[in-house]
Amino acid sequence: MEPTISRSVTVPAAPGTVWSWVTDLPRMGELSPENVGGRWLDGTGPSLGARFRGRNRNGELQWWTRVRVVAFEPGRRFAFDVRTPFGSRVSRWEYVLAPAAGGCVVTENWYRIGSWVVRKFMGPRVTGRADRPGYNVRSIEHTLAALKARAEERAAA
């Protein structure tokens, strides 16, 4: 399956360090313009099959999602599927890390896998975003810039 949107950035930090940041879903709100965090269910933490409840915000609109980790290759690949509270598929998010000179290349992929009803009706009403792909381009670029800035701040400290 090819991603709907894919963006990459070189981050001046070791893949293991960046891996710890992108798999820390409760703190993803520090990097993402829409996600505000959430919590691991059943005390599992990041692992293959782990479940997570994500929280999101757009202005006054707030909603939560069901998340399940579908790929977990430490230091290399982390992917999770997102569903509505009712169980309808929405999307898949994926982070792929590759070593590079002075750090690593981080690629963030978004796969649009939700049904037509979710895309055209439920999603825009719940999230306030009629153009989800257009918004997610900016969201991914924001998140990757935040990852890079975090690494640069830590390197300067």
Instruction: Check: CB of residue 112 under 8 Å from CB of residue 91.
Output: yes
Domains of the chain: 5-156 (3.30.530.20)
Instruction: Check: CB of residue 58 under 8 Å from CB of residue 126.
Output: no
- pLDDT value of position 78: 98
Q: Give pLDDT tens digits for 111-148.
A: 999 888 888 888 999 999 999 999 999 999 999 999 99
pLDDT at 4 over 90: yes
Instruction: Check: CB of residue 118 under 8 Å from CB of residue 126.
Output: no
Across all residues in the chain, what is the average pLDDT?
95
Amino acid at 68: R
- pLDDT value of position 1: 83
Could you give the CA distance from residue 106 to residue 81 in angstroms, rounded to a whole number?
Answer: 19
Strand partners, 62: 57
